[in-house]
Chain A
Amino acid sequence: MKFNFWYLSSLSISLIVAIPILTVFTSFFQDTSNYFEILKQTFFFEYIFNSLTLLIGVLFLTFILGVGSAYVVSFYQFPGANFFKWALILSFAVPPYIYAYSLFAFFENYGTAFTILKHLFGDGDYNKHIPKFSGMFGLILSISFSLYAYVYILARSSFLYQSQNLIELGKNLGFSKFKSFHSIILPAARPAIVAGLSLVAMETLAEFGAVDFFSVNTLTTGIYNAWITFDDLAFANRISFFLLLFIFILFLTENLSRKKARYHLEAKGGFKKKEKIKLNGAKSFFAFAFCFTLFFLSFLFPLSQMLYWTIKFPENLTGIQITDLLLNTLYLVSLSSLVLLFFALISNYGNRVSNKKILNALSTFSISGYAIPGVILAIAFITFVAWFDENLIKALGFLSIKKIFIGSVLGLVIVYFVRFYSLAFNGIKSGYEKMNIAVDESAYLLGYSKTKTFLNIHIPYLRNSLLFVIILISLEIIRELPITLILRPFNFETFATTAYISASEDLLEAAAVPSLCLIIIASFFILLTSKYILRDNDE
């Protein structure tokens, strides 16, 4: 058989990405310390119960917020509708843990709400009247306001392609607006909504910062504690296994729904384009008020809370090295983007030219890294390096390689690679899917070799997709917390880790500056990609 460079490269990349995922599965069968026995009797069920409660709460709220806002923005014309269309995705710039800091700080005793009331109405005992958002409820709110945009984006794009014929059918059947929404519009958008909710569910189960801040014991914090507090990697991996089973069910649901959603989008040809209904008077005001409240609560509220603290405690501005944090963040972003892009491109092209079923299956498995919480991936990586070091490197008489991978930028970039590989792979894949295979064949027939076709035809064609992927990866890495926290080199901080460390030391005011910087940079990246995210070129 002839040596096939592209096939082998693609196969190797997929295998490497799959290693940490396989490690988690295999470690389920390893022995653990007694801690496992203790936990089995006590906290384990609490972890599962809390994770489920959190999941149900967040799914319910993100469904209401995401579908509601998508419906209003897609079907109606009212003042500010065009602004809210993209403004509502800015909530992505606020990670759940920063939302949690804002929520807690605003409503805490003598917090921002207290200060506002004091300024407005003078001294008084306001604390007992101000609601407290902490624990599970605060956590559900924080995650929901941060993640509802997943549902919003997918539901909106599905609503956009619902044809006028479908809406007119409802009218023709004599349905009320509510019945049309309930019986026609919502079922047609169901695959897209399920896909959005599945993403929310995966992110919720993976969430670490906010969960830790509100001290809610979930499977994710359980894994972190098992590793940090009890130094029991095997048990951390064992909890991971349960969480992964949970997530794989969601992952499969999401994948199946996405396929249907894509089918739905492709069916747009021949559909009559929908005209937005112009709202007047009270209806127009309510639509505006709903969107504005959502925009305010999800984005302006945490932004202004962080801004308020930054202005109120200017000494914090000098307390941290913003330039260093920015450079560290950008260093990680650029290095990881380059690595991810390079390998995702090779792997995609390898898949395209070799068209082997086994390679496709392996690629699908390897991109499931995105569904695995950062905490699990980081720990699986440490487990693998430790095993490799003990059983191979030291056994062969070489010096330990642990330090090269654990607590180093290299290790960090490798785990980012596994975690965000699916973003890069799928982003490039969706670009490739738009390119007919006849294009490649035409290039060969014009005398271009496979490498020349890749460089001269594919790369220029994929330019926009590559840019989009870079921005998406950057956005994720800027917000990322657990992997960075676990694997970063000593004294190497990012905006996310600085904010987390300050908050965990009960110095919420000090968390404001890095949080504010993070929100501003992330917003900038979101605005750059909003055109792609909202698919406005299709409108």
Chain B
Amino acid sequence: MNKNFLEIKNVSFRAGGKTKVKNVSFNIENKGDIICLLGPSGVGKTTILRTIAGLEKIKSGSIRLKDKMLSSSKDHVEPENRNISLSFQENSLFPHYTVEKNIHLGSQAKKPNGKKKISSNKIIKLLNIEKILSKYPHQISAGEAQRAALARSLVTQPDLLLLDEPLSNVDQSFKEEIQVQLKKLLHDLKITTIIVTHDSYEAFYLGSKCGVILNDQLKQYDDPYNVYHFPNSVEVVKFLNRGILIPAKVTGENSLENEDLGTIKGNFIKHYPKGSNVKLLLQPEDLEHDDKSNLKLEVVDRKFRGTNFIYTLKTTTNHLIPVLVHSHHIHQHQVDEKFGIKRPIYIDHIVCF
């Protein structure tokens, strides 16, 4: 008996005769877990969902759900027999039926075995689509269509729910609210879900685990905190785009030296021998601002992010370093001004490559 709820083992995902993502393995351990797959557009995230749903076949590896073999080089359970629901990124509502009828078709189609039936009204209310029930898909916005399709998927009470960029067409102002509602809803219904997104904030919020897909591979599959703070490759760092890599030399068990910043102390997450030349990951929150510090760098850019500013500083060796400052900080620095960095520099977890 396999203990994992979903097990994907050495699968190469293919679409249109081409391999999109190679040799992927990951598990969802428990029923009700939500995991997110992150990656840039066109990397093959959707292909992974389509394959798990049974819309694409595999040539190697295996996919098992609740210990039942769904796909392998020999087996292929048809999509209609998997009890997996996929909510597409584009409008996939039946164009000739109203939103209400679309949702109703979902609740009609699959009869959950021994499951407590979910009230479609509850889902409709939660997704805030009461007002569009009598409308046809062409009469509603893309965001509304996505929510309607999501409602249709949810009422089927699938064993596994696959959401492809579920909120990509939802207004920014409404997005966070929907994210909260969606997470609560999935949690309440205990629906195991895989969400595909290119928005790392969305993935970090919704997923209990995150997979990062880059260059045909699943690069990292871990807790959101670890993916952000302990990226396992330069590609992941670059994709998340929240830090830079600067050259440094390991000087001790918990210290290293950089030409511009001097001594940096902290805890290495991986051991490097003394004297090694490494690339140190500096994330915006790693350095602290201090006006009184004698370590001054030039401001070349300033981004206002509401709760904070991200200053981009130029070092003497022409590296651009991001530094985060609370937006209520007593004063602001302009471009071309000097900006002080607190010393000694201490980074809680030092990530090097």
B is a partner of A: yes
Q: Could you tell me which A residues sit within 8 Å of B by CB distance?
A: 434-436, 438-439, 441-449, 457, 460-461, 463
Q: A446-B110, A447-B109, A448-B109 are in contact. Are A441 and B55 (CB under 8 A)?
A: yes
Chain A CB within 8 A of B309 CB: no
Contact A445 B80 (CB under 8 A): yes
CB of B95 to closest CB in A, whole Å: 7
Chain A CB within 8 A of B304 CB: no
Interface string of B65-107 (1 = CB under 8 A from A): 0000000000000111111111010111111110000000110
Q: Is the interface of A mostly helix, strand, loop or mixed?
A: helix
Contact A447 B90 (CB under 8 A): no
Contact B78 A442 (CB under 8 A): no
Contact B80 A447 (CB under 8 A): yes
Query: For residue A434, which residue of chain B has the nearest CB?
Result: B95
Number of interface residues of B (CB under 8 A): 30
Residues of A within 8 A of B91 (CB): 436, 438
Contact B156 A446 (CB under 8 A): yes
- Taken together as a complex, chains A and B put the C-alpha atoms of A178 and B38 apart, in Å, by 57
Chain B CB count within 10 A is highest, among A436, A443, A446, A447, for A446
CB of B220 to closest CB in A, whole Å: 29
Residues of A within 8 A of B323 (CB): none
Q: A444-B78, A444-B79 are in contact. Are A436 and B92 (CB under 8 A)?
A: yes
Cβ 8 A contact of A442, one of B81, B82, B92, B96 = B92
- Taken together as a complex, chains A and B put the C-alpha atoms of A463 and B96 apart, in Å, by 10
Contact B95 A444 (CB under 8 A): no
Chain A CB within 8 A of B314 CB: no
Q: Could you tell me which B residues sit within 8 Å of A by CB distance?
A: 50, 53-55, 78-86, 88, 90-97, 105-106, 109-110, 149, 152-153, 156
Query: For residue A449, which residue of chain B has the nearest CB?
Result: B80
CB of A374 to closest CB in B, whole Å: 36
Q: A445-B86, A446-B109 are in contact. Are A461 and B94 (CB under 8 A)?
A: yes
Residues of A within 8 A of B79 (CB): 441, 444-445
Contact A457 B86 (CB under 8 A): no
Query: For residue B53, which residue of chain A has the nearest CB?
Result: A445
Cβ 8 A contact of B94, one of A444, A447, A457, A463 = A457
Cβ 8 A contact of A444, one of B80, B149, B153 = B80
Shortest beta-carbon contacts, A-B, top 7: A438-B92, A446-B109, A444-B79, A447-B109, A447-B110, A442-B92, A461-B96
Residues of A within 8 A of B80 (CB): 444-449
- Taken together as a complex, chains A and B put the C-alpha atoms of A463 and B88 apart, in Å, by 25
Contact B94 A441 (CB under 8 A): no
- Taken together as a complex, chains A and B put the C-alpha atoms of A461 and B93 apart, in Å, by 12
Cβ 8 A contact of A446, one of B78, B96, B97, B152 = B152
Residues of A within 8 A of B88 (CB): 438, 441-442
Cβ 8 A contact of B90, one of A434, A438, A460 = A438
Residues of A within 8 A of B82 (CB): 445
Q: A439-B95, A441-B86 are in contact. Are A446 and B55 (CB under 8 A)?
A: no
CB of A461 to closest CB in B, whole Å: 5
Q: Can you pick out 19 interface pairs between chain A and chain B where the beta carbons lie within 8 Å of each other?
A: A436-B92, A438-B88, A438-B90, A438-B91, A439-B92, A439-B94, A441-B79, A442-B88, A442-B149, A443-B94, A444-B55, A445-B53, A445-B79, A445-B84, A445-B86, A445-B153, A446-B85, A446-B110, A449-B80
